[in-house]
Amino acid sequence: MTHKTAEEVGARLPENLKSVEITGEPVAIESDGRTVAVLVSAEDFALLQRLRQEEEDRLDNSAADAALAVPGENVSWERVKADLGL
């Protein structure tokens, strides 16, 4: 991964975009000595989004499984709607 200051990236944005597009190598953008963003290819960003969604789904499923494991009466969605007059 290449590291550049925000000023360097901004001054040559078209070149940096083309480089990421062609090589696929991310560019870490630094400000005040720390990485504040990373310029990545559209393909890598799509992968990141998919992985993030899969992790959110996994956590949601885990929470639902835990809720269903709690002793007591489980209420069906149909019953909830009927109780609410829906």
Residue 8 tokens read as: 């360097």
Helix or strand or coil: residue 46?
Answer: helix
Place of tokens 């992790």: 55
pLDDT along the chain (86 residues), means of 10: 96 97 97 97 97 97 92 88 95
Place of tokens 């001054």: 11
Instruction: Identify the pLDDT of residue 68.
Output: 85
DSSP state of 12: T
Buried b (16+ CB within 10 A) or exposed e, 28-42: bbbeeeeeeebbbbe
Q: What number does CATH give the domain 2-40?
A: 3.40.1620
Instruction: Identify the pLDDT of residue 23.
Output: 96
Query: Where are the domains positioned within the chain?
Result: 2-40, 41-71
Note the pTM of the prediction, 2 decimals.
Answer: 0.69
**Are the CB atoms for 4 and 28 separated by under 8 Å?**
yes
